[in-house]
Amino acid sequence: MPRDNSLQARIIGLFNVRREELMPVLLSGAFFFCVLTALMLLRPARDALGMQRGIEAVRWLFVGTALVTLIANPVFGWLVSRFRRLQFIGLTYLFFAASLAGFFLLLTLAPEAVGITSGQVFYVWFSVFNLFATMLFWALMADRFSLEQSKRFFALISVGGTLGAIFGPWLTSVLARPLGTPALLLVSAGFLVLALVLAWAVARGQGGARAASREHSSGPENQSIIGGSAWQGIKAVFRSRYLLGIAGYVILMSIMATLLYFTRLQMVAALGHDMDMRTAMFARIDLLTQVATLVLQAVFAGKLMKRFGVHVTLMLLPLTVALGFIGLAIIGTLAMLIVFEAAFRAIQRAITRPARETLYTVVGREDKYKSKAFIDTFGYRGGDVAGAQVEGLLGRLGMGLAGLASVAVPMALAWAALGLWLGRAQQRIVRETPASAGSAPDSTQASVRASDADPSSTTRSPS
């Protein structure tokens, strides 16, 4: 039989993607590209606006963001309970696109009303937008693909997001001067609408995802309304050790990211008070991070998860953080910080995020959207608040980078242990209920399996 040397065949062989899976993977990557482009168009301006009243004000903006996400979660849970999958995804993205249009009208029709307060409102809104936009993308991925597929190409799909994160700042630099900053809001909204079209194509496509399993993503069950209570996702997190472990992992990751974030703010603030200089510095760090992320995703990420498993992959970022804070305490320069932050964010996005998202492939559809929404939004922002307060307390006590490392390193080691447990718990769920690896279980079954993932659990009780 002659070998197929076409470009498509080479791509299939290189990235371990079957022919019938290629189109869903490409559409998913394009979907993530549009989401990250929409976000990264505006992120440098968000950080610069947030610093207008100083670093202490940013800590309180984190508290405001956490409160807004707590309020938004039952609203999103209500949408999930009352509408079909594509409907609540569409309503969420269209709401954020309409909000961007509203900010555009404010900037163009009433520029005199724009000030520090409106900048802080935008900071909080953007932070919520950022979380929900990416959470919905990954929830759809966990619902669309099986555990086995997620290990093979979630990292590959993430390349689309990284390209969008590189393209967004570049597009900002090209369009900001001829169109003006307000117009960038409409460009971002346009990418969100395009992302929604691609989400529809991913969810409705027939191309191989779960094709060999009992459940297909366009089947009757996936088209049905999930139902349940608006608060069910929050309750499920506290009833399932597995989901609670995922929440703990996210919170610890968020605390570490926040400690690093405020260290960066302080070092950049020490360079001067010019907002344009700060925006340019943030953009340079973002660009360096995205390039490093792209290299990791293209070369290492998928192979790591496939060869060493989710449990080892989830430990990589915590161990990097422990070494990074030790290095920062010893060297303590802005250059060291940039290297550390680039490594942190590159590993987080290229390796840890795809591995963490595979954890949701073995839970029920209700948990994929409702519980995941709570974990990825309020859990993340709750960790932000905790990290901001810890960093502020260390600053008030006069503890420098060495003091910061003395707190961060033990937490990072505990975080690594939790990642190891989560990966093994996922394996245990799959071994005990093999069907979960090939099809999305219903919510009750998934909760039972999640409870059984804890070695100390001796009874089967639905959560």
CATH code for position 302: 1.20.1250.20
Residue 218 lies in a domain: no
Give this prediction's pTM.
0.77
| Range in 89-103, 232-246, 272-286, 413-427 with the lowest mean pLDDT | 272-286
Q: Among residues of the chain, what percentage have pLDDT more than 70?
A: 75
pLDDT of residue 211: 43
| Range in 80-84, 149-153, 296-300, 357-361 with the lowest mean pLDDT | 296-300
Residue 459 lies in a domain: no
Higher pLDDT residue, 436 or 140?
A: 140
pLDDT of residue 220: 43
- Is the pLDDT at 408 greater than 60, yes or no? yes
Beta carbons of 337 and 328 less than 8 angstroms apart: yes
- Mean of pLDDT over the chain: 79
Res. 437 pLDDT band, cuts 50 70 90 = very low
- Is the pLDDT at 182 greater than 60, yes or no? yes
Residue 2 lies in a domain: no
pLDDT of residue 247: 95
- Is the pLDDT at 393 greater than 90, yes or no? no
pLDDT of residue 463: 28
Q: How many domains does the chain have?
A: 1
pLDDT of residue 455: 37
Across 137-159, b (16+ Cβ under 10 Å) vs e yields bbbbbbbbbbbebbbbbbbbbbb
Distance CA 432, CA 442 (A): 15
Residue 6 lies in a domain: no
Residue 257 lies in a domain: yes
Residue 144 lies in a domain: yes
Residue 8 lies in a domain: no
Residue 9 lies in a domain: no
Query: Cα angle vertex 434, ends 432, 436, to 5°?
Result: 105
Query: Residue 348's domain spans which residues?
Result: 16-207+223-452
The residue-averaged pLDDT of 233-246 equals: 92
Higher pLDDT residue, 310 or 217?
A: 310
- Is the pLDDT at 191 greater than 90, yes or no? yes
Cα dihedral angle (182, 184, 185, 187), rounded to 10 degrees? 140
